[in-house]
Amino acid sequence: MKPKLLLTRMIPDAAIVKLEEYFDVSVNPHDRAMTDAEICAQIAGAEALVCLLTDSIDKKVIDAAPKLKVISAYAVGFNNIDVEYATYKGIAVCNTAGVLTESTADLTWALIMATCRRVTESEAFLREGKFKAWEPMLMLGQDVFGKTLGILGMGRIGQAVAKRALGFDMKIIYHSTTPQTLSFPAQQVDLDTLLQEADILSLHAPLTPKTMHLIGKAEIEKLKPTAVLINTARGAIVDEEALISALSEKRIFAAGFDVYEHEPSIPGALLALKNVVLLPHIGSGSIATRTNMGIMAAENAIAVLEGKSPLSQVNKLN
C-alpha cells in the first residue's frame, strides 16, 4: 500500500504525476486554499504533506497528523510552518530553495524598472486617453544604470538580483547576517549605510522574528528622497503603515511590491497611491519554475519517506 500524502492545492501536472508514482495522493478538490479545519480533517492518516505558503502549518495541524514524516513546502519561504514544533515531533521540513531563484530575480527587476521609470503609471495614463503629445516633463522617472543597488539579505535570490545589476553598471552594496562568498564585486555595509546610500533598496531576507518590520519608520526616514524600495521577499519585513505615510508624503520616490504585510489584504491607502507598483505575489510565477517547484516538493517528500537526504531540508532531526 502506498503512503498517504495530502496536497493542499492543485499544482502543475508533472508534479502530481511524480507524487502519484509514490503516494496515495489526496488533493484539495476546491479552487481555493483549504481552511485549517479542512487540513486537520484530511491530514489524519497522512505520512507526507505538500503545502502552500498560505497554509498555516501550526501545532494544531501537526498534532492532527500523528503519522506525518515530512512537511514539504511548495515554496522557498517557510515562515508559515512551525518548524520548531515539527522538529520536536521528528518531522522533516523541506522547501524548494534554488529552483525559483532566477524567476524571482527576474520579477524583482521587472519591479525595479517599472517603479523607476513609472511604467504602470504611464500605461494607465495612456489607456485613460491622456497622452496628447510628447512632452519634455511627461512621466519623468529615475535612471537605473550607474546607480547604487542596495540588497538586504544576500542569499541566493539577493545574489541573482545583484548579478543582473552588473549589466546596468550599478554599484552593489549589501547587508547580510550570513557571511557570503560572492562571485561579483559588492560591498558589505551596515544597515544604516545600506539605507542611506542605496538608490534602489531591494529586500531579500527571510521573514523571521528578527526581520519582522525591519524596515520601519526610522529606517524609511534614512532613505534618500529619490530612493525606490522593492520587496519580493515577505510583506511583514516592511511596516506597511510607515511606508504608506512615506509614499503619500513623497519622502521616497516609489516602491514596488509583490508581497504584503497582511496578504492578500492590501490597504486602500496603498492601492490609492500612484508611486507604487503592486503585484499579486507572482515572484516565482513562470510556467517552468512553478513546475520545477512542484517536482522538487515531490522529490523532497519521496526522499524523506525513503530515508534519503532531500534536496532541501530546513530543519535538522536527531
Residues that bind ligand DGY (CB under 6 A): 53, 75-77, 100, 283-284
- 3-class secondary-structure state, position 222: coil
Backbone angles phi, psi at 255, to 5 degrees: -145, 150
Give least dist CB 225 to ligand DGY, A. Answer: 30
* The 187-188 sheet, strands edge to edge: 187-188, 171-175, 148-152, 200-203, 228-231, 254-257, 276-278
Backbone angles phi, psi at 243, to 5 degrees: -65, -45
Give least dist CB 71 to ligand DGY, A. Answer: 14
Residue 156 a catalytic site member:
no
User: Which of 42/312 has CB closer to ligand DGY?
Assistant: 312
Give least dist CB 106 to ligand DGY, A. Answer: 13
Give least dist CB 26 to ligand DGY, A. Answer: 23
User: Which of 101/115 has CB closer to ligand DGY?
Assistant: 101
DSSP states of 294-308: HHHHHHHHHHHHTTS
User: Which of 73/246 has CB closer to ligand DGY?
Assistant: 73
Residue 281 a catalytic site member:
yes
User: Which of 158/283 has CB closer to ligand DGY?
Assistant: 283
CA distance 229 to 201: 5
195 neighbors 150 (Cβ within 8 angstroms): yes
44 neighbors 64 (Cβ within 8 angstroms): yes
User: Which of 53/81 has CB closer to ligand DGY?
Assistant: 53
Query: Cis (ω within 30 of 0) for the bond into 3?
Result: no
Annotated catalytic residue within 118, 204, 281, 290: 281
Residues paired with 188 in a beta bridge: 174
Give least dist CB 204 to ligand DGY, A. Answer: 11
Annotated catalytic residue within 234, 240, 261, 290: 234
Give the active site residues: 234, 263, 281
